[in-house]
Structure 1
Amino acid sequence: MRHFKTLAELAACVGQEVATSEWITISQEQVNQFAEATGDHQWIHVDVDRAKAGPFGAPIAHGFLTLSLLPVFFESAMVIEQSDMGVNYGLNRVRFTGPVPVGSRLRARMTLLAAEPVAGDGVQLTWGVAVEREGVDKPVCVAESLVRRYP
């Protein structure tokens, strides 16, 4: 886990890979709960028997479930001591580049692409995030995530 004392210290890392998160294991229970929350009950996610015979050989996580884990990845990857609030501001680009079979372990690598001041003494951080699946060379999700942090 990376530790930063201030937002300015983090902002000085523009252009660098800043942190790598802890691994998270994707469970069928998570997939089912995500399906309930979003109404996306497609069989490749929730019908275990049918999914085993499907194109991926197992049920897979929703792409948006993988994306929704970004805050968890950030939380496990870094601490900014003098910033007690952050808000998701949006996404510039997202691609789901590979399947995430249930039981997969995921982690994220975060590269700080930009840091710009915003009102309220905050900083808007633009992150390049690559979500990796253990044992697979190519990321399963790449995203440009905008986060606003405040002291």
Structure 2
Amino acid sequence: GIAAAAASRSRPPAETPETAPRPETSEDKETIATIDALMETRKLYRDANLNLDRLARKAGIPARQISAAINRAMDRNVSQYVNDYRIGEACRLLSGTEKSVTEVMFEVGFQTKSNFNREFRRVTDMTPVSWRQRKG
């Protein structure tokens, strides 16, 4: 349900064959595997200033290649992809620690409460406080 809701918000109402995304390639899979590995091992998403250019430099992969791969394979933009990692860690911290929501927000790489709350709801369909109450 969450994925369907997110997908429905990010797509135009009807796609014509000319605007339909191309299927992902083996290069896309390799690119995403490299980025996923960096996100998981080096926790790059914790960098509040992480953007596509910074990610490209750290990965040694052209920014356009990263952006295209994430768009095609995951049907989201780079910012949403990074925020998915941030929210994943936020969920673990909210249910596994006593840290405040604000502490968690900063630790996982968000700079504003409004952006954190919006992205948290986009990914989980809940507020951070509701998540903690339900999962804690």
- Report if TM-score (shorter chain) is over 0.5: no
TM norm structure 1: 0.25
Q: Which has the higher helix share?
A: 2
- Of the two structures, which has the highest relative contact order with CA contacts closer than 8 Å and spacing of 6 or more? 1
Give the number of the structure whose alpha-carbon radius of gyration is greater: 1
